[in-house]
Amino acid sequence: MKAKVTTGGRQSDLFDVLVGVKQGCVLASVIFNLFLVVITLACCNGLPSNAGIPYTYRLDGSLFNLRRLKAKTKISNDRIYELQYADNDAIPAHSAADLQSSLDTLSTVYRHAGLLVNTKKT
């Protein structure tokens, strides 16, 4: 794929684009989501076991039947470590120390993936 850059009304010469996908390509969102899954898994593996917000759920029966949710059978436990949307990331924590630990881990994982955390937006 070849591209030009326009700035100040002037265009550059054509150059080869060696990475990425064309704007509007249906693969762009798929590749981006796969990338976010890898980042999330790498981040979660680096967090302490008590990080995040725990929740309990069950996939059968009525969603609002709290009596069934308290039963010890067929329930699952999991944790929410972060909530991602586009270029935003919300990190739940119970204390300032937990939040700092999660931020340090997330920043390290992002740096290894070639991304930077924009501290001006935080």
Over residues 84-112, the pLDDT tens digits come to 777 677 888 888 888 888 888 888 888 88
Q: Taking 80 as the threshold, does the pLDDT of residue 27 lie above it? A: yes
Distances (CA, A) of 92 to 15, 62, 97, 99, 111: 44, 27, 12, 7, 21
* Separation of alpha carbons 98 and 81, rounded Å: 11
Question: pTM of the prediction?
Answer: 0.58
pLDDT at 89: 76
The confidence band for 74, taking pLDDT boundaries of 50, 70 and 90, is: confident
74: which residues sit within 8 A by CB, 6+ positions away?
Answer: 58, 59, 60
> Residue 7's Cα: distance from chain center in Å?
33
At which residue do the structure tokens 């150059």 appear? 15
pLDDT at 51: 83
What average pLDDT does the segment 21-34 reach? 83
Say which residue, 43 or 68, is predicted with more confidence: 43
DSSP string, 76-107: EEEEE--EEETTEEE---SSHHHHHHHHHHHH
pLDDT at 63: 61
